[in-house]
Structure 1
Amino acid sequence: MTAKANIMPIISKIYCSSSQVMLVVRKRPHVVNGGGFVVTNCSQKVVFKIEGCGVLGTKGELLVRDGDGDPLVLIRRKGGLVQALSIHRKWKGYAYNYEGFHKSVFSLKEPNSSCLVRNNAIRISTETTGSNKAWDFEIKGYFPDRDCSIVDSIGNVIAQIGVKKEIEELMAKKDLYHIEVKPGIDQAFVVGIIATLDHIYGESTHC
């Protein structure tokens, strides 16, 4: 008998599955720079839509919508002199409710460097786990290679980004790749992190 997965909602428990989920990221075709991407499930149904600054008209801002187009998470890069002088650039994710985007659910720190090298850790803190740690998750590997994972503070992989070999041979791997989300993990949260990484590395959400 397999152990029941611990449900870990960060955006919402409706995006936490009791089994592993495979999601596919597809860059939106024929859009202006910063148009974003869509995320489908194994049935090729769109489950998330990510809008970048080319759609929103605001730099350093991303929006994750559900498959019906309703807003889920607004992600903003923090600005100002304090951020400019800091060793890290900070992104904040806000969940949507009936009052708008008010509830901060996660923050992500990227190294404040002119070039993101492979060794620099990108770390994520959440507001919902009740943890007193300095960070809850970090990125292992290198996102532009589509070979990385999101791991928790004790080293467990919660999501893996990769490319199937047959897909890699057919088309540019930047345009189509998959995310394996472990049981109990909030898929909307994982997609929000992927959207932020996409913007950090100057890809489909970046203007």
Structure 2
Amino acid sequence: MNNMMMMMMMPIVSKVYCSPSDVVLTVRRRPNVVAGGFVVADCKQRVVFSVDGCGILGKKEELILRDGEGNALLLIRRKGEIVEALSLTRQWKGYTYDYLGSHHHVFTLKEPNSCFSNNTPIRISLNSSSHGNFKINGDFPNRSCSIVDSTGRLIAQVGVKEEVEQVMTGRDFYHVKIMEGVDQAFVLE
């Protein structure tokens, strides 16, 4: 790996998930009845990540990002407080797991409280300031948004392929293009 690539590599969860080239992943939403969540596949339709906890029976306000083998990579918890209902933002905290199963705080995601703002970007701040902060711009519910770093550099783009949009009327399938050197596990959080 050359020096330029080393400078552009952004491991947040692990450098294992940083590719030397752009990667396009397909995301499929699972039914909400049981566990809900998402399944993420590569171009060869291999499951590379899954997200659990979005369903009716899942633990409320908690998501788990897993690798393709089912190992937990990130635990994401909503910081729920009574005061949050009156706040301008809702907060989520992301934690990695170490080999002993302990949690280590990695990032905080602040999303605007929908009662107060529709066009305010979602902000992600890392616990370590080595990579700066990130913003999610656009409309995620309609699968049309981008993630940029603190310098404004695009690190990921979320969208729906035209062919899929014509066949599927729902929002169950979309793709995420992740730029080279960017931690795919972090983007999919």
After TM superposition, the structure 1 stretch with the greater mean CA deviation from structure 2, 138-147 or 46-55, is: 46-55
Partner of residue 174, structure 2 = 177
Contact 1:167 1:173 in 2 (8 A): no
* 1:17 pairs with 2:19: yes
Q: Corresponding residue for 1:120?
A: 120
Q: What TM-score results when the alignment is normalised by the length of structure 1?
A: 0.82
Q: Is the 8 A contact 2:34 2:57 kept in 1?
A: no
Q: Aligned partners of 1:105, 1:116: CA distance in 2, in Å?
A: 26
Where does 1:23-38 land on structure 2 (aligned, <5 Å)?
Answer: 23-29=25-31, 32=33, 35-38=36-39
Where does structure 2 lack aligned partners over 5 or more consecutive residues?
none
Counting aligned pairs with the same residue, the percent is 55
State the match for 2:146 in structure 1: 149
> What amino acid does structure 1 have at the position aligned with 2:107?
F
Consecutive unaligned residues in structure 1, runs of 5 or more: 193-207
Return the offset for 1:172: 2.6
**Greater mean deviation of Cα atoms: 74-83 or 175-184:** 74-83
Deviations 1:70-125 (A, max 9, x none): 111000000224434432111000001123242111110011233751x1121000
CA–CA separation in structure 1 for the residues paired with 2:170 and 2:150:
29
Q: Specify whether residues 167 and 113 from structure 1 end up closer, same or farther in structure 2 by C-alpha distance, changes over 3 A only.
A: closer
AA partner of residue 130 (structure 2): G
Change over 3 Å in CA distance of 1:100–1:15 after alignment to 2: same
Partners of 2:104 and 2:42 in 1: how far apart?
27
Output the aligned Cα RMSD: 2.2
Asked whether the equivalents of residues 16 and 185 of structure 1 are also in contact (C-alpha less than 8 Å), the reply is yes
75-84 or 100-109, which moves further after superposition? 75-84
Aligned positions of 1:27-106 closer than 5 A? 27-29=29-31, 32=33, 35-54=36-55, 57-106=58-107
Report how many aligned residue pairs link the two structures: 186
Of structures 1 and 2, the one scoring higher in RCO (CA 8 A, sep 6+) is 1
